[in-house]
Amino acid sequence: MKRGWLSCAGSISACLAIAQVGFVKQYSMEQNGLGARGAAICEVPGGYLLFCDQITDDGNFQTHAMVRRLDEFGEVLSVRDFLSESARHSNHGIVDPVQRTASGMIAVPVIDDSTGFDRNVSILMCNDLGDTVITYRPIQCNPMDSVVVTMRGMRATSGGGFLVVGSIDSTLQGQGTRALLSRIDPQGELIRATDYGSPDQLFAGVGAEPYLEDGAVIFGYRLAPGIDDMNFLIRVNGVGEELWRRFMGSEAGASYGSVKVSPDGNIVTWCRYDEDGEDNYWETVLCKWDPDGGLIWQKRANHGYQTSTFDMEVLDDGTFIATVTVDEKGLLCKYSADGDSLWTRTHTVFSNTAYHILWDVEPTSDGGFVACGEVIQSGEDPQPGLATIWMIKTDALGCVVPGCQNVGVQEYVLDLTEQLQLSPNPASDKVQVRLPLPEQITWRGAVQAVVQDARGAEVLRMPLTTSQDLIAGDLDVSGLCAGTYHVHVVGNNRWLAGGKVVVAH
């Protein structure tokens, strides 16, 4: 069986990395051949809660909303099906649907259905173990109404309530599909549901954020013949009345994406753009808008095959972290407060032809980032066609192993890290480096071991020898001060593996 590939490519930053736990995981073994996706990730004490939509193994092959409790290294501790006794389909929504509330509880949206018109939207208030403490069911559709409600996302409000965004399809009543924003009170009761759109156009809400004076901003897309500027931004007041709407430009194609409020009180949107009209070749566009809908700036990047945008977060310092798929690879992208690119890290698991999506990215308490999503395995992978959950934990510079931005390479092959052997460890004199190579790798070219101190400064660089199935050599660490060091194995402008070694004299 061909072994999966795991690689990372990134721009080089001059900043120093902070030592943080990093890893990349995929969960095909735990899925037992059943398709799944990572919808959202939430840091909890001692690890993470990974919220997933997965096909059940009970013979009904329904999709159920689930949660995996993980340790700090991404290993699965437990799995819970939120609707284990139900014969209904369920899911969490689309982009970044889960949110920790001001009370410390984790608000988890779930939409379930048995037929097209019989749908319910629930909000589950969970603790840090993923257990449901309170269940709200604010939206319950009457099948006799013949409308289809879709939930795409949810956000908590400052008053303890919630905004649920999606769409409502009233085609049978002659109204078509319109974006839907529902406001929920702190007791889980529906206050109002308001729809937005235009005649003869399909409008779908993807994300929403609370905004000024108990209002909100809604991001989504529209579809109609002859319409090019498909992504929209709508601002509404505290009673749901539309104040204005804007479109992302004549070349903004229908896509997922995100809307957030920046620390300066302005609005930021993240979607894709097609400036040159090439079929299937697009780029990302990050826009900042003032409260009146005026465009402050627009920044485009990441031109490539089938570029698609997903989550975006505004950090406390006003900078942005975002996820995108370009050339079927998953990207983490960091931008300045003015929307300029700071760094990009490109990750793939399995082959380069598998399709990678990161549905959610979140900052972590150690200053790094964690992201989750799904990979559609290709014909070159162990389980072709299987939707597979994957997860990435990086440091503040997007590195899985600290210091990756300082070793003078552009491409990172992370799948070999688990093979790297550093011994003895701790060491006082010499450290033996051994990197066994998988059967499908035939290495040609020089390889070096680069040693960095805890601040990311290079303190030692030594050549390693290569053979058909092994890269090896000895590091003389006798001249280094006692402490913890990071070892990076690099060659042919590629980062092959990395690990930690302790020097003790």
pLDDT tens digits, residue range 333-346? 999 999 999 988 87
| Residue 40 phi, psi dihedral angles, 5° rounding | -160, 155
pTM: 0.83
pLDDT band at 441 (very low <50, low <70, confident <90, very high): low
Is residue 18 over pLDDT 50? no
What pLDDT digit, counting tens, does each position of 241-296 carry? 999 999 987 666 667 999 999 999 999 999 988 766 677 788 999 999 999 999 99
pLDDT band at 353 (very low <50, low <70, confident <90, very high): confident
pLDDT at 10: 41
Domain 23-408, classified CATH 3.40.1390.10, yes or no: no
The tokens for 212 are 């000024």
Whole-number mean pLDDT of the chain? 87
Q: d(Cα 428, Cα 171) in Å, to the nearest integer?
A: 74
The neighbouring-strand residues paired with 373 are 358, 390
Q: d(Cα 7, Cα 415) in Å, to the nearest integer?
A: 7
What pLDDT digit, counting tens, does each position of 462-498 carry? 999 988 889 999 999 999 999 999 898 988 767 788 8
Which option is the CATH number for 415-503: 2.60.40.1930, 3.60.150.10, 2.60.120.10, 3.30.465.10? 2.60.40.1930
> Is the pLDDT higher at 17 or at 179?
179
Residue range 349-364: average pLDDT? 89
What pLDDT digit, counting tens, does each position of 26-37 carry? 999 899 999 999
pLDDT at 408: 64
> 85 Cβ partners below 8 Å, 6+ apart?
none
Q: Could you count the other beta carbons within 10 Å of the beta carbon of residue 426?
A: 13
DSSP-derived secondary structure for 97-138 = --EE-TTS-EEEEEEEESSSS-EEEEEEEE-TTS-EEEEEEE
Domain locations along the chain:
23-408, 415-503
DSSP-derived secondary structure for 5-59 = PEEEEE----SPPPP---EEEE-HHHHTT--EEEEEEEEETTEEEEEEEEE-SSS
Of the listed ranges 8-12, 109-113, 182-186, 227-231, the least confidently predicted one is 8-12
Query: 475-496 burial by CB neighbour count: b if 16+ within 10 A, else e?
Result: bebeebeeeebbbbbbbeebbb
Cβ neighbourhood burial of 175 (10 Å; 0-12, 13-18, 19+): middle
pLDDT at 397: 86
What pLDDT digit, counting tens, does each position of 45-103 carry? 999 999 999 998 877 788 999 999 999 999 999 999 998 777 788 899 999 999 999 99
